Structure 1
Amino acid sequence: MRFSLRQLTIFEAVARHLSYTRAAEELHLTQPAVFAQVKQLEDVVGLSLFERIGKQLFLTDAGREVLATSRETVAAIERLEMRLADMQGLKRGKLRLAIVTTAKYLIPRLLGEFCTRHPGIEASLTVTNREKLLARLTENLDDLVVLGAPPEHLDVVATPIADNPLVVVARNDHPLAGKKRIPPERLVAEAFVMREPGSGTRLAAERFFAERGLALKVRMELGSNEAIKQAIVGGLGISVLSLHTLSLEGEDGLLQPLDIKGFPLQRKWYVAYPRGKHLSAVAKAFLDHLMAANG
């Protein structure tokens, strides 16, 4: 029975997402190419690895067996690559990084600096929401993850690397713009545009107001900070966002932080990985780079 590491890697991605489309996006391949590789693997195995019921894809019994072996094989190859890369220092190696969406205003620049210093490093960056990031952390899919608050239900090593202040953001012609020391109670009447439930930013904001016996009037939930910013510009409400999301606005931008008592909420950015995980020389060097850049 002959099958390739490439086929196992592609199959693992499809099995993890239970979607040819999402696997293709992750692997930067076309959907037909991903489907063809899985079909070739099924031909070699002699059994179907997936079955489709309605629009949902499911693993067959054979698929679950192949998935377990695929993960063992890919993990063994990655451990070998890590050991070889460690022997060569930072001349070569891979870095798999995953970050929450808000961190895209900070981390890509630092990753670019790191890769410029070490051109032999092959880096991949996944940007996703907190829920999916924690799932990746649970499955140990990345070398390091960057998020706004360490998960309480997972046993991880979490290192603070930078400040992440949260501010109340409004359009620059909002009635509260320019006013000083606005009490939080004043915001109860305002419509909020917020991230999805489970977002670290939203959890911190709701905790702040709940501690004061206040509840936010959430008018709309959106899945990205840029969409929220556009909604604010469109007059749909105000929001609580990381100050980093305003980094490209400039002094004459359409958005500005409001001066609310108790804000900014002082939070941190953390780099995390599962406790007991062996970090490669590349991952250790990048962690050091993050800490030095914001030290």
Structure 2
Amino acid sequence: MRRLTLRQFKVFEAVARHLSFSRAAAELHLSQPAVSMQVKGLENIVGQPLTEQLGKKIYLTEAGREVLHTSQNIAAQLNDLHTNLEQLRGMDSGRLNLAVTSTVNAVATGILARFRGRHPMLSIHLDVSNRESVLSQLAANSIDLAIMGQVPEGLGLEAIRFMDNPLVVIAPPDHPLTHKKWISANELATESFLVREAGSGTRGAMERFFAAKGLEIRTSMEMSSNEAIKQAVQAGLGLGILSQQTLEMELALKHLAVLAVEDFPIMRHWYLVHRADKRLSPVAQAFKQFVLDEGKAKQAG
């Protein structure tokens, strides 16, 4: 039986990504017949068609999707190998690919700044996204590490808790509840809340808190970022529940106030996450240890 080749996988991955033989040929600087020949050779070895054409459009067959998944994994592993070999030459010539959820951006940015201070020549790519996007990047092996809150099980991820993340209830400083020394959950449930989008870890924590007390959240507006919620709370459009670590400036300037609510803060945690099967580069290993050390120092302080 003939063996599959890296060249075939590379060509097919380009075809599958573009869903076009001509665009794949242009990207790879090959002729279209050469691309077609490579895909045909792959199909002969697999024994099944990998693409099908309906009208003018190309679609992947089920076998094609399987081969694409393998092609992407091979490409990611080769990229890891190239990066690791490059970084063995020295920490200051490496690259770190990091993704963080928007809720932890303020914390992660501070950590990154201090890490970059020790290694000023490093190339760092930071992507700030929602939770689903960060999980997708981990699944695709397109990033080294992620920093996020809630980490689902069953995805083959290694998650290390490194810092507490207290959630607090915020209001504009002139809100009547800011003068109360203790607010019950029942009283809080009569207020309108500004919430994050469905799937957000912060929103999930809110919903679990109220559900555990047999209460429902009155939502006045759904927003896609913490900054939007902070501004809307300042404008008096409702209350919010956010990480206290993201509120330092607003609290110092007295643009927002934290309410003294029963059973608050809700204590959640920040996690450093990577694929369990990923071989971390020297730079990623160094950053991982730096984050864990930062977390220990923060908790001790």
TM-score normalised over the length of structure 2: 0.77
Task: Decide whether the 8 Å contact of 1:170 with 1:258 is kept in 2.
Answer: yes
What are the residue-to-residue correspondences of 1:114-193 with 2, within 5 Å? 114-193=115-194
**Which residue is equivalent to 1:41?**
27
- CA distance in 2 between partners of 1:238 and 1:72 (Å): 45
Q: Give 1:224's aligned amino acid.
A: S
Match of 1:196 in 2: 197
Q: Equivalents in 2 of 1:59, 1:244: separation in Å? A: 47
- 2:155 and 2:247 map into 1 onto residues whose CA distance is 31
Matches of 1:288 and 1:58 in 2, distance apart? 46
What displacement does 1:38 show? Answer: 6.0
CA contact (8 A) 1:159 1:272 kept: yes
> 3-state SS of the aligned residue for 1:249?
helix
Distance 1:58 1:219 in 2: 45
Inter-CA distance 289–159: structure 2 relative to 1 (3 Å threshold): same
What amino acid is the match of 1:119?
P
Counterpart in the other structure of 1:231: 232
d(CA) in 1 for partners of 2:262, 2:31: 65
State the distance in 1 between where 2:144 and 2:211 align: 36
* Cα deviations by residue, 1:198-236 (Å, 9 ceiling, x for unpaired): 100111111111111111111111000111111112221
Which whole-Å CA distance do the structure 2 matches of 1:225 and 1:236 have between them?
Answer: 14
TM-score, normalising length: structure 1: 0.78
In structure 1, the partner of 2:93 is 92
Is residue 147–residue 271 contact of structure 1 (8 Å, CA) maintained in 2? yes
Residues 115, 193 of structure 1: alpha-carbon distance in 2 compared, 3 angstrom cutoff: same
Secondary structure of the corresponding residue to residue 266 of structure 1: strand
Distance in 1 of aligned mates of 2:60 and 2:205 = 41
1:8-39: CA deviation from partner (whole Å, max 9, x where unpaired): 8x969x949x9xxxxxxxxxxxxxxxxx9868
Q: Distance in 2 between matches of 1:199 and 1:111?
A: 23
8 A Cα contact 2:76 2:142, kept in partner:
no
Distance, in Å, in 1 between the alignment partners of 2:287 and 2:17 is 30
Q: Matched residue of 1:207: which SS?
A: helix
Separation (CA, whole Å) in 1 of partners of 2:111 and 2:23: 35
How far does residue 243 in structure 1 lie from its aligned partner after superposition? Answer: 0.7
Deviates more, 1:191-200 or 1:154-163: 154-163
| 3-state DSSP of counterpart to 1:237 | coil
The residue matched to 2:27 in structure 1 has which SS? Answer: helix
Deviation of the 1:187 alpha carbon: 1.1
In the alignment, what sits opposite 2:41? none
Answer with 37-46 or 152-161: which moved more.
37-46
CA distance in 2, matches of 1:68, 1:156: 18
Find the residue that maps to 1:292 and give its secondary structure. helix
Distance 1:231 1:111 in 2: 29
CA contact (8 A) 1:105 1:247 kept: no
Flag the 1:75–1:237 CA change in 2: closer, same or farther, 3 A. Answer: same
Letter in 2 for 1:280: S
Q: CA deviation at 1:86?
A: 4.6
Q: 1:193 deviation in Å?
A: 0.4
Structure 2 residue runs without a partner (length 5+): 1-6, 37-50, 297-301
Instruction: Provide the C-alpha distance between the structure 2 equivalents of 1:268 and 1:80, rounded to a whole number of angstroms.
Output: 32
In the alignment, is residue 277 of structure 1 matched against residue 278 of structure 2?
yes
Cα distance change on mapping 1:132 and 1:242 into 2, 3 Å: same
CA distance in 2, matches of 1:158, 1:268: 11
Opposite residue 237 of structure 1, the aligned amino acid is G
Measure the CA separation in 2 of the matches of 1:58 and 1:193.
Answer: 44
SS across alignment from 1:164: strand
- With over 3 angstroms needed to count, the CA separation of the structure-2 counterparts of 1:291 and 1:64, relative to structure 1, is same
Kindly tell me: are residues 250 and 240 of structure 1, through their superposed partners in 2, closer, same or farther at Cα, counting changes over 3 Å? closer
Residue 164 (structure 1) shift:
0.8
**CA 213–65 in structure 1, closer or farther in 2 if over 3 Å, else same:** closer
Query: Matches of 1:159 and 1:59 in 2, distance apart?
Result: 40
For structure 1, the 5+ residue unaligned runs are 19-35
Counterpart of 1:21 in structure 2 is none
**Percent same amino acid at aligned positions?**
39
Tell whether the 8 Å contact from 1:195 to 1:225 is kept in structure 2 after alignment: yes
Q: Deviations over 1:93-137 (max 9, x none)?
A: 111101000111110121122122112321101111112212222
